[in-house]
């Protein structure tokens, strides 16, 4: 309601200003100011110099942007194919920068040089085949080269060798969270369908499928360094997009179909945290956070926790109100740590079984997970 009122006030204000300028025009009738609608030499000169002013503005703004926001772009890629993506991106940036630097100067300089003058007539110039050939062939060759290189990189990155030893992981998207399903020992995901969604089986895994028995469902994904991870994406509701910026990976998650992406992580989380650029970035973030904390504590609120770097899986399709916060932590472990993590997980079949079984131990408040030693010990002591 308030915004509607503000809009109405703004519209009325605009109408009032418009009426005022009309009154102002009427007061000028009879005076010798130039009210001609045809541009004079003076007008053309002003426009010509403004062209140079605008040229200076776009160059200064480009250089300012490059220095101010340039360092914010993603740094070292954490996947084996990442360098290829970065290379393609950098070549494209450099080409755009060169072409724009040349064409903008020419465009604005000629607009200034041939600005209108009294008595000067525009030259009628139908066409020039040689010129048109030059400015068609050069961009065609450059673009064809760029596209060919892009296609080569794309097929390289998207190729998944079925024979290769990979770790198969499902990424399941729904408004507004991610869930991962690790294929387990057999490295094959059990079938799934929304109709099977029930209780702890939130992904609708077909528990009658033999391949589903060792599947592990997690809300924080661990993957091993140095091995290709084969992701299979599904969505429960709307279009989502699995985006892992540090791994230079992104793939749409489409309801009703499975999409795929595979990459090999080359830095563990611990190693990536130790990269000099990341140390600097984290300390900058923490400097800002501690400054904010001082203000928060002064107001009587709790201070902010210090930030530590983690790989994240984000959603890159605007999928609804909480899209911005749709994320899952991904930890890249050494192969040994990964094995250890895997052995600590309870598979879905077990979880379903425990959820369905009545409490086995008298006095137990809730079903106990097989590997939950602390809880087992607690019950044993009763």
Site of interaction with Cu ion (CB under 5 A): 240, 315, 319, 326
**216 vs 326 by CB, closer to Cu ion:** 326
Q: How far is the CB of 47 from Cu ion (least distance, A)?
A: 48
**223 vs 326 by CB, closer to Cu ion:** 326
Distances (CA, A) of 9 to 14, 16, 337: 9, 10, 63
**220 vs 365 by CB, closer to Cu ion:** 220
Q: How far is the CB of 217 from Cu ion (least distance, A)?
A: 19
Give which of 281, 264, 226, 225 is closest to 84, Cα–Cα.
Answer: 264
Q: How far is the CB of 24 from Cu ion (least distance, A)?
A: 53
Angle at 40 (CA atoms; ends 35, 42), nearest 5 degrees:
110
If you write DSSP's letter for every residue of 160-189 in order, what string do you get? --TTS--EEEEEEEETTEEEEEE-TTTT-P
Q: How far is the CB of 240 from Cu ion (least distance, A)?
A: 4
Q: How far is the CB of 244 from Cu ion (least distance, A)?
A: 14
**319 vs 328 by CB, closer to Cu ion:** 319
d(CA 307, CA 287): 10
71, 125 contact by CB (below 8 A): no
Radius of gyration over every alpha carbon of the chain, rounded to an integer in angstroms: 31
Q: How far is the CB of 318 from Cu ion (least distance, A)?
A: 8
Q: How far is the CB of 327 from Cu ion (least distance, A)?
A: 10
**315 vs 368 by CB, closer to Cu ion:** 315
d(CA 260, CA 171): 10
In terms of Cβ atoms closer than 10 Å to its own Cβ (0-12, 13-18, 19+), residue 204 is middle
d(CA 34, CA 111): 24
**212 vs 242 by CB, closer to Cu ion:** 242
d(CA 203, CA 234): 10
Give which of 203, 337, 343 is closest to 269, Cα–Cα.
Answer: 337
Q: How far is the CB of 210 from Cu ion (least distance, A)?
A: 32
Give which of 187, 311, 155 is closest to 247, Cα–Cα.
Answer: 311
Q: How far is the CB of 104 from Cu ion (least distance, A)?
A: 38
**179 vs 268 by CB, closer to Cu ion:** 179
Supply the angle between the helices 82-113 and 41-69 in degrees, to the nearest 10: 160
150, 88 contact by CB (below 8 A): yes
**243 vs 272 by CB, closer to Cu ion:** 243
**181 vs 240 by CB, closer to Cu ion:** 240
Consecutive H or E run containing 96 = helix 82-113
């Amino acid at each position: 309601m308030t915004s509607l009122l503000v809009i109405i006030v703004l519209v009325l204000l605009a109408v009032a200003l418009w009426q005022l300028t009309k009154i102002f025009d009427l007061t000028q009738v009879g005076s010798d100011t130039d009210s001609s609608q045809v541009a004079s030499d003076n007008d053309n000169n002003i426009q010509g110099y403004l062209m140079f002013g605008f040229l200076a503005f776009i160059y200064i703004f480009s250089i300012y942007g490059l220095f101010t926001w340039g360092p914010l772009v993603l740094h070292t890629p954490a996947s084996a194919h990442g360098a290829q993506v970065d290379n393609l991106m950098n070549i494209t940036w450099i080409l755009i920068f060169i072409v724009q630097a040349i064409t903008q100067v020419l465009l604005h300089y000629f607009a200034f040089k041939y600005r209108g003058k009294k008595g000067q007539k525009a030259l009628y110039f139908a066409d020039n085949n040689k010129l048109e050939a030059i400015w068609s062939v050069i961009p065609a060759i450059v673009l064809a080269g760029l596209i060919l290189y892009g296609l080569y990189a794309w097929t390289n990155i998207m190729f998944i060798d079925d024979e290769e030893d990979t770790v198969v992981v499902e990424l399941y998207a729904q408004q507004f969270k991610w869930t991962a399903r690790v294929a387990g020992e057999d490295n094959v995901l059990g079938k799934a369908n929304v109709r099977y969604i029930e209780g702890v089986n939130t992904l609708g895994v077909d528990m009658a499928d033999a391949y589903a028995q060792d599947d592990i469902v997690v809300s924080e994904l661990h993957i091993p360094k140095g091995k290709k991870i084969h992701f299979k994406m599904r969505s429960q509701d709307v279009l989502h997009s699995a985006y892992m910026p540090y791994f230079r990976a992104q793939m749409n998650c489409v309801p009703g179909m499975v999409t795929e992406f595979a990459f090999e992580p080359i830095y563990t989380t611990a190693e990536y945290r130790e990269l000099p650029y990341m140390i600097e970035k984290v300390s900058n973030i923490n400097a800002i956070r501690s400054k904010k904390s001082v203000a928060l504590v002064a107001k009587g609120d709790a201070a902010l926790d210090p930030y530590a770097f983690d790989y994240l899986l984000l959603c890159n399709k605007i999928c609804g109100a909480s899209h911005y916060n749709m994320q899952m932590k991904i930890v890249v472990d050494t192969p040994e740590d990964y094995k250890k993590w895997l052995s600590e997980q309870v598979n879905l079949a077990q979880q379903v079984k425990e959820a369905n079984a009545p409490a086995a131990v008298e006095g137990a408040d809730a079903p106990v997970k097989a590997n939950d030693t602390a809880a087992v010990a607690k019950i044993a002591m009763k």
